Amino acid sequence: MVSYFEEKKLCELTDNNLGTCVLEDKEIVFANGVLAERLGYSVSELIHKEIGIFVHPQDRERLYEALQVVSSSAESMFIPLRILSKNSGIFCMALTLNNLMFRGKPATLVNFLDIETLKEIQKEAENELFKLQKAIFEAIPHAIMGLENRKVIFANNAVYDIFGWHPEELIGKSMRLLFHSDREYEEEGKKFYSVLKKLKTHRIEFTYRRKDGTDVTCLTSVSRIGDDPDNMRIVATHTDITRMKKIQHECDVLHDQLCMYTDHLHDMVERERSMIAQEMHDKIGQTLTILKMNLFKLKKDIAPQEEDIRKRFELTLSLVDSTIRSMRNLAAYLRPILLDDLGLIAAVEWLLEEFQYATGLDVELNYHPIFKHVEFSKKFSTNLYRILQESLTNIVRHANATKVWVKMHYKRGTVMLTVRDNGCGINTKKIDKSRTFGIIGMKERANLLGGKLWVRNWHASAPGIGGAIVVAHIPISKEKERQ
């Protein structure tokens, strides 16, 4: 970058310990007192001299090349050179070269830095960097270890929190200290190093032994130092995940218990429903039929002139009829007998017919031939049937649709049930916020069968077009073929 300097400003800027001059091409057009003194001349003796005079003949070419690069590319450069002084002979200095405009012309600003001063600056910077690295190294809450041939070459303070060893106790020792047995140490080492020959970094979960003999489970991340795969120097960071693992295990146990409980609950509800349906069908149904027959007989005994009584009898008979119909529908809703007697497809066909009749919606059913040949378990048929039932209820309650497509497909051991409508679509934000149980229940049922269920819009970006769709994927590998 070209800078513009006035001579006065340059004098102010260079009024320090730094020797400075300005070159036009190779000619010195400005020099400060510090440089003149360092070279053993007066300032006026330096002016109009070629810079090369003050540089060792073997280094001159390098300087000229550097000046060329700086003036043509506008880059800064830094080069160490041997400098010739009038009194003290040859000494080394580091020169920095920068472009600038001086007295209205393009020129090069050259700063001369004593190598000794430079080394001091460098050392100071290295010290600062070292302190910074050490502070970062100690502030990290993960145990960090440097290893060479499985021996610890450095470790931070966090190794004490995680493994119970102070860093100084570990340095120089073998990693065997953190394993439970020689065999474990050998086997894990082999595994680790063979992976690290192929990959530069590797992550595992492993349970180590602490100094007090207790276990600590860590997520260990290991990186090879350098690119050579045969170099066995590595850095390992260990994060204590013992608590997290324990909580995860407790969650898994709770989740399993919850699934078992839900399964049991569903089973109980189905059995209760079955019992009530049976009771309604057998007892109430029979009683109503007898009542109807008796009324029918009594009706015959009514004298022709008792027209009023006949009319009331007919009304009562039609009431009994509609009660029988309602009772049958309710019993079928509670437990479709077809599901037990004729299987899933027959029950689905009946359900859809009833749905179409009751709602006036156009329903289309498609299914894979496998549904005719496979005898599904009671648990599978009931849960799939209930998923379909809840999907249809949701369509009536929320979709404002005119058509419903039900598909029951099968591919590579998985049954896929889809129920799609052409209604208003789902407001997903509303679902997330609402405390409703229909969709949760459907998901749970799919989960109980080892499958998954999603409810989404047919067009993800345009909810109003295409309506909503319920998709359930359920594995049936355990089901047995009918023949």
Ligand X SMILES: Nc1ncnc2c1ncn2[C@@H]1O[C@H](COP(=O)(O)OP(=O)(O)OP(=O)(O)O)[C@@H](O)[C@H]1O
CB 343 within 8 A of CB 375: yes
- Interstrand relation of 143-148 and 105-114 (parallel, antiparallel or unpaired): unpaired
**Partner whose footprint covers residue 71, from Mg ion, ligand X, none (CB < 5 to 8 Å by kind):** none
Backbone angles phi, psi at 202, to 5 degrees: -150, 145
Give residues with Cβ within 8 angstroms of 86, minimum separation 6: 39, 40, 41
Contact 425, 466 (CB under 8 A): yes
Q: Hey, is 2 helix, strand or coil?
A: coil
Q: How far apart are CA 76 and CA 398, in angstroms?
A: 72
Q: Which is nearer to ligand X, 86 or 430 (CB)?
A: 430
Minimum CB separation from Mg ion for residue 395, in Å?
Answer: 10
Residue for token digits 């990959």? 199
Q: Is residue 434 a contact point for ligand X (CB under 6 A)?
A: yes
**Residue 451 contact partner, candidates Mg ion, ligand X, none, CB within 5 to 8 A by sort of partner:** none
The 10 Å Cβ neighbour count of residue 398 is: 17
Size of the site for Mg ion (CB under 5 A): 2
> What's the rounded Cα separation, in Å, for the pair 62 and 68?
10
Q: Are the C-beta atoms of residues 137 and 39 closer than 8 Å to each other?
A: no
By C-beta, is 252 or 362 nearer to ligand X? Answer: 362
Question: Do 439 and 455 touch, CB atoms closer than 8 A?
Answer: yes
Report the alpha-carbon distance of residue 179 to residue 187 in Å, rounded. 11
Residues 428, 451: Cα–Cα separation, whole Å: 22
Selected from 111, 217, 394, 457, the binder of Mg ion by CB under 5 A is: 394
Q: How many helices (H) and strands (E) does the chain have?
A: 17, 18
The listed partner (ligand X, Mg ion, none) that binds 336, CB under 5 to 8 Å by sort, is none
Q: Segment contacting ligand X (CB under 6 A): 159-167, 225-233, 346-354, 435-443?
A: 435-443
Is residue 439 part of the contact set for ligand X (CB under 6 A)? yes
Which residue's C-beta sits nearest to Mg ion?
438
Question: Measured between alpha carbons, how far is 317 from 295 in angstroms, rounded to an integer?
Answer: 7
Minimum CB–partner distance for residue 443 and Mg ion (Å)? 12
What's the closest the beta carbon of residue 442 comes to ligand X, in angstroms? 8
In angstroms, the CA 457 to CA 469 distance is 6
Does 430 interact with ligand X (rule: CB under 6 A)?
A: yes
Q: How far is the CB of 429 from ligand X (least distance, A)?
A: 10
Q: Is 459 in the site for ligand X (CB under 6 A)?
A: no
Q: Which is nearer to ligand X, 56 or 398 (CB)?
A: 398
| 95 is a site residue for ligand X (CB under 6 A) | no
Lay out the site mask for ligand X across 380-419 (x = CB under 6 A, - = otherwise).
--------------xx-xxx--------------------
- Which region, judged by CB under 5 A, interacts with Mg ion, from 74-82, 89-97, 226-234, 390-398? 390-398
Eight-class DSSP state of 173 = S
By the 10 Å C-beta count (0-12 exposed, 13-18 middle, 19+ buried), 219 is classed as middle
CB of 391 to Mg ion, least distance (A): 9
User: What three-state secondary structure class fits 444?
Assistant: helix
Segment interacting with Mg ion, rule: CB under 5 A, options 264-272, 386-394, 426-434, 440-448: 386-394
Count the residues of the shown chain that bind ligand X, applying the rule CB under 6 A: 19
Work out which of 109, 421, 444, 476 binds ligand X, going by CB under 6 A: 421
Which residues are at the interface with ligand X (CB under 6 A)?
A: 394-395, 397-399, 421, 423-427, 430-431, 434, 436-439, 468
Q: Which residues bind Mg ion (CB under 5 A)?
A: 394, 438
